[in-house]
Structure 1
């Protein structure tokens, strides 16, 4: 006999057939069913959904309140887990194992003390600025993602060497926060900055925090959310998923993300639950983010810097985000304290020019934000690099389709031809130019990385700015209904009008496979009925064959005359 209760499977199959497409798609998504599941009809779907291992996984993923309703048989119908009256199916009762959790109590976190709120504000500010640095790093070079789903070792070291993070664990936490809030997205085994993330970097600090906090609330698992759209008290999070063995570690992870964002503060002692700063109250209650109480505790941002003769810029305080982003596109940030230091180099200015800046634009920007004017050494550096910029030109030969490198400086072209750092390009002399089979963009960035004053040229001979920055594709707006449309359509097309007959044949086929003992009720020609106890042995040609245990004979019964079947 099948491990799935056949009566319940039939009930569920009928409920699945009666459900609308949206409800079916939500069920399939919540149960993590592959859109290409090899199900033929709703009976296949019902048996798969009621399989003990599938039910055990589904029940373990239920939050505390849902489990309490199932255990008490008091909740609404949960498609795939209960019958229409809210009674759990047999496999669900087994998976519950007799637990009877009480519903989540209504608890309000204690208000944070003045010192705890100050620490939470400082932590939030540090997270915002550090996360922006992580995104700027990812814009230049995507962050590698290893098979375990964590940050690659090389990128961890890169963040440490750039003094963006204090330790490797912090790097993982920041990437995790950026991913769940939609600032980073996974693509091709790497994290790429999303369009939302690229916009977030240049926003003001209050807007940055409001977006981060709101997005984090949206990302919280259902068991942590409150009916009003906020979240339950963090002190209750550890019990949110009683049957999920991995939940305690996940709960700690979510509490840490809340702490990084400044939505929780430390308790009165290490053993006390986290407290709540004033700026988290509205979000917890389901309202909009209110950054004003947080901003009041943050260090004052500045919009001016000191430009030094030694080609550095010193910010006397946290630089406004939009200015910081542009300045980091021109100079290399050397320190990440509130009074940050930036250094201008040939490489950093050449990179800015390659990214589309102009000498006039750079000098105008620096004069606007400088408290000390633009020092002569810095002005000379910008102009000198700009004069050389474009000395090397990379284009596509319209006749051969190959990439060609040209320069009015023949000596420089000879240097490029023998530069071992460019050996991978396979550059070969072709008259007064160099030719390669690699793409124009590849050749351009190889030359730029080798610090040659290179520009890209389009097919009309005009200089063109190439964007090296990889931004993640826009989010797929397809919901579960779209993803499961083909599967749902297949199930509906196989669902005939005579579901009773289809289910009977399915039961008989399963009984034959299991050599099950059946009590079969048959309608006789005279209008009466008769029951036979058979060991099912075959099914074909519209007839059921089996050995009659009572008469010890083989019988063949027309399937169309069978009115009911019951396992003995």
Structure 2
């Protein structure tokens, strides 16, 4: 009870932000029915709450608690110790129970030595993996920018999108995709919504960066995301020692193995297990350390355009150039030297995304070492001439979208297309269709069905639409302060000036619930003090009821006259 009162006093003295951080760290439900800080203290000292907190602690913190001291690794927000730095009695009891069940979790482990430096061959292999993985993540982000990845209830990418990305050659296995998506989330490049993974504004900026800059952003994010339990000597422990850092945390070993796998993919660890120089500089975290990047292939800014409608890049193409090239050509092979193929569909997609025949020619002329071959020039011209045979505009007066086709045959083909049935298209005249669906949605549905579609504005002029929108435009997820604001407000409202009186009532309530035998010091009418030993049986109407053990009679004592309560010996 003394610990509960001390904790309640400590909680009431915290700021609202600090309270929210504590509740979040202790996984308190925002819908908790706590009425005051005494309830909150009692809830945080319950065995299940303490056990939950212990599972989140690193080994060093557990060793400290078992020794009765607060190790530096013990998060202050958990509030497992009192103001003097001593674990609460309830915490000590749960630590002893945990140590009995898992004695190895409370054994001290010395700080391991630094890993073996990678030899030149190992470092080269790690750099090659870093280059390949950076390209793979770019492919995943490009796919998600074009069409957000569907997300299952567990947070994983849906089976349909897994298959799509594997078949497209963006990733080799579903496991690789999971690792890339988690890495992108850690780096803030992808953000989860309820049903999708969407590219963020930071993700779009990352796609425009050089390969070396892309790698550095991800590597820094992975290092920053390393939990406190794997940090030592001002840096980060070698990855092969992470599995032992959180001995009570369920699933930690699997998570640490995944992090090790991700580190190998990004060239932070060589396949042999040795550590490249760039990782040592990142891992040790010294302020004076000079950042070292892996020796990635040099980027180029020119390609060979060939008469067979392909573009050959003899080396890694600079990302901004490659991103634009891929809007108008399909990549057939991915390597340091890549091949891209132009087709009517690929050029039509570029026109749909806002390019024109002139802008495509201008870009390719500047990019090509060999000029624009005649077959490609003809394909650009013929594709552009067909583009816009279907026009989509919004009729504000009638609140509907109007789809106009170049001829009736094309209109009829659109009207019976099963993929477009959700649009609810209705014939209107010889060459027009109407829909109650918004113009942009109709436009992209037609574009995805490979119709030569063009959007027009209210004046009838062509308008470029861009599908890509960065995640984050909607309402942000509530932070801890917002999440716990109603609960904290209720606790503050119940906070009164008479803390001693409130605590006395709480002690009496607990005694009644337990039918405990207590010693009650009462102030008598003549201002003298008398102590009764009673078995508490009821509390209500401002009075405590119970059986007096000495006189063997029922007594009713005014709570306002009770000075102290103690457990009877």
Normalised by the size of structure 1, how large is the TM-score? 0.92
Equivalence for 1:260: 265
Equivalence for 1:54: 49
Question: 1:142, 1:470 within 8 Å by CA — same for their partners in 2?
Answer: no
User: CA offsets, 1:224-282, max 9 Å, x none?
Assistant: 23463x41222321221122232111111222222222222244xxxxxx332111122
Equivalence for 2:61: 66
Structure 1 pair 17/355, CA: closer, same or farther in 2 (3 Å)?
Answer: same
1:108 aligns with 2:114: yes
Matches within 5 A, 1:400-415: 400-415=398-413
Matches within 5 A, 1:148-167: 148-167=154-173
Aligned residue pair count? 554
Equivalence for 1:17: 12
What is the distance in 1 between the residues matched to 2:328 and 2:303? Answer: 14
Bigger shift: residues 199-208 or 258-267: 258-267
User: CA offsets, 1:136-183, max 9 Å, x none?
Assistant: 011111112212222211111111111121222111111111111111
What is the distance in 2 between the residues matched to 1:189 and 1:101? Answer: 43
Bigger shift: residues 520-529 or 392-401: 520-529
Structure 1 pair 127/287, CA: closer, same or farther in 2 (3 Å)?
Answer: farther
Matches within 5 A, 1:535-554: 535-554=535-554
What is the distance in 2 between the residues matched to 1:370 and 1:547? Answer: 99
Where 1:35 maps in the other structure, the secondary structure is coil
Equivalence for 1:566: 566
**Shift of residue 441, structure 1, vs aligned partner:** 1.8
**Shift of residue 302, structure 1, vs aligned partner:** 2.4
1:173 aligns with 2:203: no
Where 1:422 maps in the other structure, the secondary structure is helix
Bigger shift: residues 417-426 or 331-340: 417-426
Matches within 5 A, 1:358-373: 358-373=356-371
Question: 2:277, 2:292 within 8 Å by CA — same for their partners in 1?
Answer: no
Matches within 5 A, 1:183-194: 183-194=189-200
Equivalence for 1:39: 34
Q: Unaligned 5+ residue runs, structure 1?
A: 1-5, 268-273
Bigger shift: residues 12-21 or 283-292: 283-292
Q: Unaligned 5+ residue runs, structure 2?
A: none
Where 2:294 maps in the other structure, the secondary structure is helix
Bigger shift: residues 183-192 or 278-287: 278-287
What is the distance in 2 between the residues matched to 1:313 and 1:124? Answer: 25
1:459 aligns with 2:458: yes
Question: 2:390, 2:405 within 8 Å by CA — same for their partners in 1?
Answer: yes
Equivalence for 1:556: 556
What is the distance in 2 between the residues matched to 1:480 and 1:426? Answer: 44
What is the distance in 1 between the residues matched to 2:530 and 2:56? Answer: 47
Question: 1:145, 1:189 within 8 Å by CA — same for their partners in 2?
Answer: yes
Where 1:341 maps in the other structure, the secondary structure is strand
Equivalence for 2:338: 340
Equivalence for 1:270: none
Equivalence for 1:271: none
**Shift of residue 425, structure 1, vs aligned partner:** 2.6
1:322 aligns with 2:320: yes
Equivalence for 2:138: 132
What is the distance in 2 between the residues matched to 1:481 and 1:418? Answer: 53
Where 1:196 maps in the other structure, the secondary structure is helix
**Shift of residue 476, structure 1, vs aligned partner:** 4.1
Bigger shift: residues 79-88 or 425-434: 425-434
What is the distance in 2 between the residues matched to 1:469 and 1:58? Answer: 42
**Shift of residue 287, structure 1, vs aligned partner:** 4.7
Equivalence for 1:423: 421
What is the distance in 1 between the residues matched to 2:151 and 2:367? Answer: 38
Question: 2:216, 2:293 within 8 Å by CA — same for their partners in 1?
Answer: no
What is the distance in 1 between the residues matched to 2:300 and 2:286? Answer: 31
User: CA offsets, 1:368-420, max 9 Å, x none?
Assistant: 12122111111111111112222211112222111111134344334333444
User: CA offsets, 1:325-368, max 9 Å, x none?
Assistant: 11111111122232221111111111111111111111111121
Bigger shift: residues 303-312 or 354-363: 303-312
Equivalence for 1:147: 153
Equivalence for 2:472: 473
Question: 2:70, 2:81 within 8 Å by CA — same for their partners in 1?
Answer: no
